[in-house]
Amino acid sequence: MNSATDVWGRVLNILSSDLTETAISTWFDDCRAIELSDSRLFIHTPSVFKKSVIEGRFIGTIKSALCEIFSGEYDVIILDDDGLKAMTEASSEPDYMYIDEYTFENFVVGNSNKFAHAAALAVGEGLPKQGYNPLFIYGESGLGKTHLLHAIRHSISKKYPHYRIACVKGDEFLNELILAIQQGKMIEFREKYRGADFFLMDDIQFIAGKIETQNEFFNTFNTLYELGKQIVFTSDRPPSEMHRLEDRLKTRLESSLQADIQPPDDALRVAIIRNKAEQLGVTFPDDVTNYIAENLISNVRQLEGAVKMIIAYRDIMDDDITVASVTSRLKDMFKGIKELIPTTETIISETAKYYLLTPENLKGQSRTRDTALARQIAMFLIRKMTNLSLKDIGEIFDGRDHSTVLSSIRRIEATLREKTEFSKIISDITSNINSIT
């Protein structure tokens, strides 16, 4: 329903409201959409010169158009002939190589993830079991939820190649749903998900929010459940803390088998560092392993990043791997961790998505109730989460002046004081933003 060519056609349509026909035909007539994958659109142009012009002049506009279509950020990659050739040669490999490493064999088990791992393994055996359906895996970011979900997918697709597996992220489900509604393609949408033998949804917290999404999700979920199909969810929080879920949906999710993953303890951190280094063909001295394990404590993704960085430095700089060399390398990493600031685009698109709107709706002039509220929330969150001034924020929102921004922020602050329910909305949106950043 969403071929690269269709999407590119829609992009050109949007561009044509800003550019002249001559400009469009000069720069884009011989462009061809090659591929649309996760969040990237690949476009080919046979001319190296046009590639550089498109990259220099139009890339921002193309990205905004994509943002309008998908209510999310897309990257655009312009390929000339060489680029296309390289891509075609590489495409015998799967698009996201790393996902292929998300197998049970590569998952290191410790106290903090033992139960989730065992449950995932049982589900990965492929025969839906009463007690394990649905399976709901939750835990903070970077602890291995996506890894386990894909391990299940791998295992099932190997054992039962004929099964239809739907594996989707909560936010993708949402984007597809928005698009299907807009294009009147709900039948196709439903067929795709309700016909699955296995339904795996990563980061389900993204669907909390607008009632239409929850309805569609609820119906998909019920249909599959009643057919006895296996369902697996991951989320950054347990169902009981998904405040913006309708009660009936929450009740259903609460009856899942809930398996949490906690941050890794000392022993598991050490084991993971060893395992990741070994996979890259390197053995770290014990004091180095311990040093990393003592300092990076909250998250497996960071451990993995540290191991990769240390090995990359050794290769480039010909450094020995010692505690001293590692200390200076990791300093930046320790610092960086606390300083992650979301981009304004992320804040706007997550807020918009929560209200089933597009970022353009939020930045524009519409005054419908939802749009106005979502716009005020986005301004409030940008002020809270970034270093931007009121004036900067006003500029993002179609050149509104700083007093408008200020009064929007004040209104949100007042609502927060008056309605306790409202703080849950803000905290849901904030978590969504943080899990992307």
In the complex, the residues that contact Mg ion under the rule CB under 5 A are 145-146
By DSSP bridging, strand 40-44 and strand 75-79 are: parallel
Please identify, using beta-carbon distances, which residue of 305 and 359 lies nearer to ligand ADP: 305
CB of 149 to ligand ADP, least distance (A): 8
Binding-site size, ligand ADP (CB under 6 A): 17
Check binding of 136 to ligand ADP (CB under 6 A). Answer: no
Q: Which residue has the tokens 């055996």?
A: 125
Please identify, using beta-carbon distances, which residue of 26 and 279 lies nearer to ligand ADP: 279
213 makes contact, choosing from Mg ion, ligand ADP, none, with CB < 5 to 8 Å by partner type, with none
Check binding of 244 to ligand ADP (CB under 6 A). Answer: no
CB of 292 to ligand ADP, least distance (A): 14
Name which of 242, 164, 172, 170 is nearest 199 in CA terms: 164
Please identify, using beta-carbon distances, which residue of 108 and 204 lies nearer to ligand ADP: 108
Please identify, using beta-carbon distances, which residue of 202 and 428 lies nearer to ligand ADP: 202
Stretch that binds ligand ADP, among 64-72, 249-257, 297-305, 354-362 (CB under 6 A): 297-305
Six-digit token string for 290: 């311990």
Binding mask 104-123 for ligand ADP (x = CB under 6 A): --xxx----x----------
Helix (H, G, I), strand (E, B) or coil at 93: coil
Please identify, using beta-carbon distances, which residue of 78 and 143 lies nearer to ligand ADP: 143
Amino acid at 198: F
User: What is the C-alpha separation between 150 and 156, in angstroms, rounded?
Assistant: 10
Name which of 186, 142, 192, 185 is nearest 167 in CA terms: 192
User: What is the C-alpha separation between 293 and 286, in angstroms, rounded?
Assistant: 10
The DSSP line for 42-78 is EEE-S-HHHHHHIIIIIHHHHHHHHHHHHSS--EEEE
The edge-to-edge listing of strands for the beta sheet with 165-169 is 165-169, 198-202, 230-235, 135-139, 257-261
Check binding of 143 to ligand ADP (CB under 6 A). Answer: yes
Check binding of 222 to ligand ADP (CB under 6 A). Answer: no
CB of 104 to ligand ADP, least distance (A): 10
CB of 143 to ligand ADP, least distance (A): 4
Exposed, middle or buried, 122 (CB in 10 Å: 0-12/13-18/19+)?
middle
72 makes contact, choosing from Mg ion, ligand ADP, none, with CB < 5 to 8 Å by partner type, with none
108 makes contact, choosing from Mg ion, ligand ADP, none, with CB < 5 to 8 Å by partner type, with ligand ADP
28 makes contact, choosing from ligand ADP, Mg ion, none, with CB < 5 to 8 Å by partner type, with none
Stretch that binds ligand ADP, among 46-54, 139-147, 215-223, 285-293 (CB under 6 A): 139-147
Check binding of 102 to ligand ADP (CB under 6 A). Answer: yes
Name which of 239, 242, 240, 204 is nearest 427 in CA terms: 242
CA dihedral defined by 144, 148, 151, 157, rounded to 10 degrees? -140
User: What is the C-alpha separation between 253 and 102, in angstroms, rounded?
Assistant: 25
Candidate list 39, 141, 183, 298; residue touching ligand ADP; CB under 6 A: 141
- In a 13 Å sphere around the CA of 437, the CA atoms on its Cβ side amount to 22
Binding mask 260-279 for ligand ADP (x = CB under 6 A): ------------x-------
Please identify, using beta-carbon distances, which residue of 146 and 258 lies nearer to ligand ADP: 146
User: What is the C-alpha separation between 52 and 72, in angstroms, rounded?
Assistant: 25
Contact in structure between 157 and 140 (CB atoms under 8 Å): no
Candidate list 167, 300, 307, 381; residue touching ligand ADP; CB under 6 A: 300
What is the phi/psi pair of residue 241, to 5°?
A: -105, 10
**Residue 174 backbone zone (phi > 0: left; psi -120 to 50: alpha; other: beta):** alpha
144 makes contact, choosing from Mg ion, ligand ADP, none, with CB < 5 to 8 Å by partner type, with ligand ADP
Check binding of 103 to ligand ADP (CB under 6 A). Answer: no
Stretch that binds ligand ADP, among 161-169, 285-293, 296-304, 386-394 (CB under 6 A): 296-304
User: What does DSSP assign to residue 137?
Assistant: E
Please identify, using beta-carbon distances, which residue of 148 and 326 lies nearer to Mg ion: 148
Interacting positions 146-165 with ligand ADP (CB under 6 A): 146-147
Residue nearest ligand ADP, Cβ-based: 144
Stretch that binds ligand ADP, among 11-19, 103-111, 354-362, 420-428 (CB under 6 A): 103-111
Name which of 152, 150, 114 is nearest 133 in CA terms: 152
Binding site for ligand ADP (CB under 6 A): 102, 106-108, 113, 139, 141-147, 272, 300-301, 304
